[in-house]
Amino acid sequence: MAIETILRLWLGLKERWNSASIPGQIALVLLVFGTSTVLFWQLPLIRPFVAQFWQSNVAAQEFILSLTLMLALGLLAYGVMSAKAKEDERALRRMAEAEAEAAREQARQLQERWDHLLEVECRDNLWRRPYSVAPPTFVPRLNRKTRFITMLNLKGGVGKTTLTANLAACLACGPRRLRVLLVDIDFQGTLSAATLAPNILQDCHRTDRIVNALLTSVDGSGALPYRLAVGMNGVEGAEVIAARDTLDTVEFQAQAQYFLNSEQDIRFRFRSHFHKPEVFERYDVVIFDSPPRVTASVVNAIAASDYVLIPTKLDQGSIDAVPRTVGWLRSLESVSSAEILGVVAMQVRVRLGRLVAADQVAYNRLREVVRSESGKDLLFSHFVRNDRLAIGQRGLVAGVREDGRAIFEPVAQELCERMSR
């Protein structure tokens, strides 16, 4: 018990010592020394020596007192020196931490400036740069049966992924029995999660069987699309190239390289992969599912595509995003000759076989917006109604079922008709 008490007392004194200032540490030394001295002289074994001290002559007493004082001064000097060393160490540590924090802040500011500069350049000039070297050949549609489509809208949450996945199911499982390849170019991987069984998707991530390879391979020889593709869950005749969060980093690095060196043109890498005889022989339709923003993969997709399909909801914000998307596509005419195949209304509310009044008004407004922006009536006559049957589950889309596929089949049929014109 006594040992435990002494140990606790020692730990407490040590903690106070480490946290105290120099004056506090000096006071602590004097307190401990004084207390120890008083207690020492009160010990039973020491009392005979105390009595003898008082009985000794003055010279002996002075010697003992001088020795005690020297010991006290020595302990005090040690305490002061130790305290100063501790304070110097803490000061150096605080200085090093401050310098490290300043370096981190400077790096953060530089990164923000770089990100802003790159964002402005990408938005305004980067993707419209003149060619430093001749781009890969865009094989004319007349020389191949494969059709390339980019699903695009610069606004999120409008149903791009839902339409992409279910169109694939309709095209592959319907009367046309087309061979379809879906390419997920959104780092969030929403299409991948919607169309692939979880264990298959995990295996793609583990083995790097993902879309990143299409962007990092320069000449098209390093990553053949069909070697990256895996079968779409529940849909025979459809395959998927998955994406994961690392795509965001790969895209940023590729953009930065192109920003610094225009000869490292990254805009046509998809074209070098997909415009090949082996792809034409294997697939009838290739659909790129894009994120709601401009990325290196999106530019690559439209540079390799014949058509762009724009899904949108009927709320005002989504309708306003359509002209913005069309305008951005027009700004890239030097990079891509992709035609706007049309605009598809998503999650339209229907009652008794007719659009509800509010959606009918919005649908008519969308038609006028599209016509005024493009000069053509590009709005699909068929739409995707808001129906619980249109909702799939993780890894399995609604189009796998006949009742779910029926919701998207009219749009798929109109899509094929428009591509055949």
| Residue with more model confidence, 352 or 170 | 170
Give me the residues paired with residue 231 across strands.
239
Percent of the chain with pLDDT over 70: 78
Please report, to the nearest 10 degrees, the dihedral formed by the alpha carbons of residues 277, 283, 284, 288 taken in order.
Answer: -100
Identify the residue whose tokens are 């049966």: 145
For 133-166, the three-class secondary structure string (H helix, E strand, C coil) is CCCCCCCCHHHCCCEEEEECCCCCCCCHHHHHHH
pLDDT at residue 40 greater than cutoff 60: no
Tell me what pLDDT residue 169 has.
96
The mean per-residue pLDDT over the stretch 294-317 comes to 95
As a whole number of angstroms, the distance between CA 97 and CA 93 comes to: 6
Tell me what pLDDT residue 275 has.
95
| Residue with more model confidence, 12 or 270 | 270
pLDDT at residue 219 greater than cutoff 90: no
Tell me what pLDDT residue 409 has.
96
Tell me what pLDDT residue 417 has.
95
- Provide the terminal-to-terminal Cα distance of the chain, rounded to the nearest Å: 96
User: What is the average pLDDT value for the chain, to the nearest integer?
Assistant: 85
Q: Where are the beta strands (DSSP E) in 258-399?
A: 285-289, 307-312, 339-345, 350-351, 354-355
As a whole number of angstroms, the distance between CA 386 and CA 376 comes to: 26
Tell me what pLDDT residue 89 has.
79
- Contact of 154 with 321, CB cutoff 8 Å: yes
Q: Which two tokens stand for residue 382?
A: 């068929």
Q: What is the pLDDT of residues 149-167, one digit of tens each?
A: 999 999 999 999 999 999 9
Going by C-alpha positions, the residue among 260, 340, 255, 334 that lies closest to residue 293 is 255
Tell me what pLDDT residue 34 has.
65
Tell me what pLDDT residue 106 has.
78
The mean per-residue pLDDT over the stretch 45-53 comes to 60
Tell me what pLDDT residue 352 has.
87
Q: Report pTM.
A: 0.73
As a whole number of angstroms, the distance between CA 276 and CA 415 comes to: 24
Superfamily the domain 144-419 falls into? P-loop containing nucleotide triphosphate hydrolases (3.40.50.300)
Question: Which one-letter amino acid corresponds to residue 104?
Answer: R
- Contact of 148 with 306, CB cutoff 8 Å: yes
Q: At what angle do helices 160-173 and 402-419 cross, to 10 degrees?
A: 90
| Residue with more model confidence, 157 or 79 | 157
Question: Domain limits of the chain?
Answer: 2-111, 144-419
Tell me what pLDDT residue 24 has.
66
pLDDT at residue 46 greater than cutoff 60: no
Q: What is the pLDDT of residues 335-394, one digit of tens each?
A: 998 999 999 999 999 998 899 999 999 999 999 999 998 888 899 999 999 988 888 888
Using 50, 70 and 90 to split pLDDT, how confident is the model at 128?
A: confident
As a whole number of angstroms, the distance between CA 348 and CA 367 comes to: 14
| Residue with more model confidence, 41 or 254 | 254
